[in-house]
């Protein structure tokens, strides 16, 4: 296949309180050029770590196993200029724009720095491009914004600036880590619409991280569901909500009240989400799964193809049959 990004068997261990803890276990995921892939899961399931692995932004002392290939390059072995090239070609939009922009530099410095330093674009030219991209992300009055400091801008505006910065280097892949979670609801919708539209216009591939299955379905072609550092299911986003193959996906879908399905159908999954290093042998979801059987404890279910997608549940077939 002609994948832009291919992650296979990715396992990441991080040092925490003197011991190495597994935060990602055997994650496999691929993104084709121009494709949008969602990454959904509860807090601590390893979504951010997966994205950070792609641009080698893991905490110091991290141990990485498995392969990450970006346009054929082996990411974990990149050094120096080749690593900087990868990072120029993969942009990241973070959840909290205020923390991710140097507070004592102007918006203009932030937007043009990568262009000026890495691509040797003249300041005036870089600022011209920045104003054009700001306009595209819905920030009018670009020249004035360039001279402002981050604390003078609202969260929604700052997130647009962050998106503009991510687009300015003309990347091929966008990593968006909960880009709208920190914003209020109306701003969320606006920012999301802009992100989606600009991505499609430019044919950019995107890894979109969110807690929200329906939001992922709205903007992504395929969605991967993560639990305890593992991928539980990957399928066409449109199918995930109503035709989930994995009990965890079904629980996520049910936990979100939607218009047509009323409160009586709102089933919350009992128990708290586990991190990868806490997960039991066998299926990591077995401590909370309503369909658990002895088999689930005996072997760890691998991700396997089923029904046009992939699922990691030993009972997927029987459960899917009983759904219909």
Partner 1 sequence: MTAITALLGSSRPNRWGPLGTTAAIVILAAVALSVLGPALSSADPNASDFASAYAAPGAGHPLGYDGQGRDLLARLLTGSRTSLLGPLWVVALSMAAGTIIAIAAAWVGGWLDSVVSAALDVVFAFPGVLLAMLVAAVFGPGLSAAVLALSVAYVPYIARLLRSAALAERRKAYVQALEVQGLGAVAICLRHLVPNLIPLIAAQATLFFGYAMVDLAIVSYFGLGVQPPDADWGVMVAGGQSGVLQGYPAESLLAGGCIVVLVVAFNVLGERLSDGSGQGGTFGPSRWWRPRRGGAA
Ligand X SMILES: Nc1ncnc2c1ncn2[C@@H]1O[C@H](COP(=O)(O)OP(=O)(O)OP(=O)(O)O)[C@@H](O)[C@H]1O
Contact 112, 130 (CB under 8 A): yes
Task: Mark the segment that binds Mg ion (CB under 5 A) among 9-17, 44-52, 54-62, 153-161.
Answer: 44-52
Report the candidate in 239, 297, 228 with the shortest Cα–Cα distance to residue 41: 228
Degrees (nearest 5) of the Cα angle 38, 273, 215? 25
Size of the site for ligand SF4 (CB under 6 A): 12
Q: With CB under 5 A as the rule, give the number of residues binding Mg ion.
A: 1
One of 85, 135, 281, 299 touching partner 1 (CB under 8 A): 85
Q: Give the footprint of ligand X on residues 36-75 (CB under 6 A).
A: 41, 43-49, 59
Cα 169 from Cα 174, distance rounded (Å): 11
Q: CA-to-CA distance for 238 and 236, rounded, in angstroms?
A: 6
In whole angstroms, the minimum distance from the beta carbon of 34 to Mg ion comes to 25
* Residue 151 engages partner 1 in binding (rule: CB under 8 A): yes
* Residues β-bridged to residue 68: 7
- Window of 47-55, 218-226, 242-250, 290-298 that interacts with Mg ion by CB under 5 A: 47-55
Considering only residues 155 through 184, tell me which ones interact with partner 1, judged by CB under 8 A: 165, 169
Judged by CB, which is closer to ligand X: 64, or 320?
A: 64
* Number of residues assigned to the chain: 324
Question: Is residue 48 a contact residue for Mg ion (CB under 5 A)?
Answer: yes
Q: Which of ligand SF4, ligand X, Mg ion, none lies near 195, with the C-beta cut-off 5 to 8 A by kind?
A: none
**C-alpha angle 96/155/110, rounded to 5°?**
70
Dihedral, 182, 187, 189, 191 alpha carbons, nearest 10: -80
151 in helix, strand or coil? helix
Binding site for ligand SF4 (CB under 6 A): 247, 283, 285-286, 289, 291-292, 296, 301, 313-315
């Amino acid at each position: 296949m002609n994948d832009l990004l291919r992650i296979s068997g990715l396992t990441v261990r991080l040092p925490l309180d003197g011991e190495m803890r597994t935060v990602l276990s055997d994650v496999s995921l691929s993104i084709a050029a121009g494709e949008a892939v969602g990454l959904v899961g509860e807090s601590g399931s390893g979504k951010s770590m997966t994205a950070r692995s792609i641009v080698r932004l893991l905490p110091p002392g991290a141990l990485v196993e498995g392969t990450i290939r970006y346009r054929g390059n082996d990411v974990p072995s990149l050094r120096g200029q080749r690593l900087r090239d990868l990072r120029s070609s993969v942009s990241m939009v973070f959840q909290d724009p205020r923390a991710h922009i140097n507070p004592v530099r102007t918006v203009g410095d932030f937007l043009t720095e990568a262009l000026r330093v890495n691509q040797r674009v003249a300041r005036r030219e870089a600022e011209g491009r920045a104003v054009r991209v700001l306009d595209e992300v819905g920030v009018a009055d670009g020249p004035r914004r360039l001279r402002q400091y981050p604390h003078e801008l609202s969260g929604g505006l700052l997130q647009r600036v962050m998106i503009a910065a991510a687009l300015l280097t003309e990347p091929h892949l966008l990593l968006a880590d909960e880009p709208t979670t920190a914003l209020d609801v109306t701003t969320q919708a606006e920012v999301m619409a802009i992100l989606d539209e600009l991505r499609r216009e430019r044919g950019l591939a995107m890894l979109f991280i969110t807690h929200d299955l329906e939001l992922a379905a709205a903007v992504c072609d395929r969605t991967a569901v993560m639990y305890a550092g593992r991928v539980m299911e990957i399928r066409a986003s449109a199918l995930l909500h109503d035709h989930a193959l994995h009990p965890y996906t079904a629980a996520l879908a049910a936990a979100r009240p939607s218009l047509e399905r009323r409160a009586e159908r709102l089933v919350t999954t009992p128990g708290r989400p586990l991190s990868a290093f806490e997960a039991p042998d066998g299926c990591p979801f077995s401590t909370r799964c309503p369909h658990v059987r002895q088999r689930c404890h005996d072997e760890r279910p691998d991700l396997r193809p089923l029904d046009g997608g992939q699922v990691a549940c030993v009972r997927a077939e029987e459960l899917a049959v009983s759904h219909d």
